[in-house]
A and B are shown apart, each in its own frame.
Chain A
Amino acid sequence: MSRGRGLSGPLFLVLGMAAGVAVGRRWLDVVEVRGGSMAPSLLPGDRLLVESHSYQGRPPRRGEVVLAPDPREPGRELIKRVAAVDDAAASAELRGDAPAGSTDSREFGAVPLSAIRWRAVFRYWPPQRAGRLSPGE
């Protein structure tokens, strides 16, 4: 496989991303991860593309990586994985992928679905680990 061919996919994605972000940070945005509670899937310093379109049409699903406001500290935004969704209560349990080193719903309880607006879809930095974020279990 030629090098040029291998790069065209990611390059296209990054250009598309930039275009998307340019359209407005209301639907697409880029964020940087701080802290290690999502290791090994996300590491401190990872840069991600996040989108807010999906959750206007459907609730978050188990396994998705989402942004949610910290219920204990206004102004802080958390990144965690959805561990369970309670449709009746309209809330989600959030967990870090590194449960031993994560402050999450085990401590602050379930988070209302209405508070979860952003879904993390793609890591573009660092380039060696660029790629779609797979929904885990």
Chain B
Amino acid sequence: MLTIRSLLRPSRIVDAHCDVPCGVYDPEQARIEAESCLRIIEKHDASDDKLFRARCIHVKEERAELVKNHLDVLWHDYFKPEHLEKYPDLHDTFWKASKQASKVKQSLDVAAAKDLLAMIDTIDEMWKATGGPEKTRVNGRPS
């Protein structure tokens, strides 16, 4: 009977798989938060109100943290090993963009916020070139 038991032991695992997120990815999400950071820094600089400036810093740090989160999700959930073949600098690009988001979180540097936007645009190009708009948005990215 021991043999029957061993024969009934599964030979392999089969996946009733779910990525659980919905499979919707778009660098636009990170970009909107990064744009918020840029605008908030500008508003901060233009204001004399101490309280308002404090709020600006607080909200900007939150937004910058969201940028990092959205970039992370794109990086490890959307992009796949085959994309790395096409873009060997993919990891480096994400690493630098995440670091840049940290810089924006820590500073009130307008130039840093603009650089972050440019980095997200580079990621956006990779997303587009790998079929992101058709594959991940419900009806493509709204124009």
Contact = CB atoms under 8 A, between A and B. Distances in A.
B20 to A, nearest CB: 6
B85 interface: no
Nearest to B80: A72
A131 interface: no
Contacts of A52: none
Contacts, number: 88
Interface residues of B, number: 18
B6 to A, nearest CB: 9
Contacts of B18: 35-37, 96, 98, 101-103
Contacts of A102: 16-18
A51 interface: no
Interface in A2-46: 14-15, 17-18, 21-22, 25, 29-39, 42, 44
Contacts of A76: 15, 17
Majority DSSP secondary structure for residues of A touching B: mixed
B23 A18 contact: no
B11 A33 contact: no
B16 A33 contact: yes
Contacts of B16: 33-39, 42, 44, 78-80, 96, 102
Interface string A50-76: 000000000000000001001010001
A107 B131 CA distance: 13
B91 to A, nearest CB: 19
A18 B11 contact: no
A14 B1 CA distance: 12
B23 A107 contact: yes
Nearest to A30: B10
Q: How large is the interface on A (under 10, 10 to 19, 20 to 34, 35 or more residues)?
A: 35 or more
Nearest to B11: A29
A78 B17 contact: yes
B12 A22 contact: no
B111 interface: no
A32 B13 contact: yes
A70 B18 CA distance: 12
Given A15-B4, A18-B4, A103 B11 contact: no
Interface of A: 14-15, 17-18, 21-22, 25, 29-39, 42, 44, 47-48, 67, 70, 72, 76-80, 96, 98, 101-103, 107, 124-125
Given A101-B18, A102-B16, 16 more contacts: A18-B8, A21-B8, A22-B3, A29-B12, A31-B14, A32-B10, A32-B14, A33-B13, A35-B18, A37-B18, A38-B16, A42-B16, A79-B15, A79-B16, A96-B16, A96-B17
